[in-house]
Amino acid sequence: MKIVIQRVSQANVKVDGKVVSEIGKGMMLLVCMEKQDDSKVVEEASRKVLNYRIFADENGKMNLNLEQVGGEILAVSQFTLSWNGKKGNRPSFDNSKEPNEALVLFDKFCNYLSASAKVEKGQFGEHMNVSLTNDGPVTFSVDF
């Protein structure tokens, strides 16, 4: 499982020109389910994401987590993250989880997150236009 986390002041997803989800301050997550991922990985990843201290405290130091700042999450499935780019010039997504299985795990991941934060989602499998204002900029890439 790979996740790109961006601290945002706002983010939204459009499908066919219509906003289907949007958040204010919080995290924009690009989420890739890979072949080896299972429910255990998804649960651990959700716990870690919720506890990452990537928001500024009163001294401007990254010391607060999402819940402490009342932040929201916009999660978007992004199977293209499975390509590592080291071999060849044409992307291969052979390590991506099969779409039906990926959707089940993506939904589990979002459900775990929603126990502690407002979670909006992109539309799985659709062509989406993602727009965000990166706050910082602050961006992290993590593998689970």
Establish whether 80 is a catalytic residue. Answer: yes
H or E segment to which residue 7 belongs: strand 2-15
Is 41 in contact with 88 (CB distance < 8 Å)?
no
Set 9, 39, 63, 80: catalytic member:
80
Whether residue 112 contacts residue 120, with contact meaning beta carbons closer than 8 Å, is answered with no
Secondary structure percentages of the chain, helix, strand, coil, to 5: 25, 40, 35
Q: Is 124 exposed, middle or buried (0-12, 13-18, 19+ CB in 10 A)?
A: middle
Q: Which residues are catalytic?
A: 80
